[in-house]
Amino acid sequence: MVDERLLWLAAMMAAGTALMVASGQPQAQAASPTVASASVAIADPVPDPTPLRERGRIVLERAPDGLFYIDGRVNDTRVRFLIDTGATALILTAEDAARASLKAEEGEAAGALQTASGSSAMSWAQAETLEVGGRAFDGVPAAVPAGGLKVSLLGQSVLSKLGPITLDGNRMVIGEDRLD
């Protein structure tokens, strides 16, 4: 059976390759033919990504750079996330992880992540709490690259717990349509 951390690493490498493609930097062939990523280069500035709440759903407006962002809290520290359906895991920038007081887990395998800025060492950490979209989660594993990532990524490990994701023009809707 394949170790889940290896799958996460493969997804992060694919995300880095996609970032390199979007930024126009030269790259090697695709890292993994079975893992795709929707990540692209991040343009600054990005407006405050305050989601709307509509009948139990999270509704996000597309940012000027064409992507979707949401604010959350990691260990009670505000973090801006890029919604990345191609990322398998929660991935925090080194800066966001430091602000949230995340420390690498001892005994956890470290690896390397290929980003738009080049290869970056990465480690695994555990967020005691993660709050996003009005939902709270405890003990969420997070990959933390040493550098090269400009914004933290909200990947499938969390998105799958928030509900279905649909795109409707310039809106992303996360969650089920519930009559509260």
- Out of 40-54, 117-131, 138-152, pick the least confident: 40-54
- Looking at residues 130-145, what average pLDDT do you find? 94
Residue 110 pLDDT exceeds 60:
yes
Report how far residue 68's alpha carbon sits from residue 64's, in angstroms, rounded to the nearest whole number: 9
> What span, in angstroms and rounded, lies between the C-alpha atoms of 45 and 168?
24
What is the C-alpha separation between 53 and 66, in angstroms, rounded?
21
% residues pLDDT > 90 (the chain): 46
CA 160/CA 175 separation, integer angstroms: 10
Cis ω before 33 (30° cut-off from 0)? no
pLDDT tens for each residue of 53-68: 555 689 999 999 999 9
Q: Whole-model pTM?
A: 0.67
Per the prediction, the chain carries an average pLDDT of 73
| Number of CB atoms found within 10 A of residue 12's CB | 30
116-129 tens-digit pLDDT: 556 777 899 999 99
Whether residue 113 contacts residue 16, with contact meaning beta carbons closer than 8 Å, is answered with: yes
Q: State how beta strands 90-91 and 135-145 pair.
A: parallel
The pLDDT score that the predictor gives to residue 173 is 93
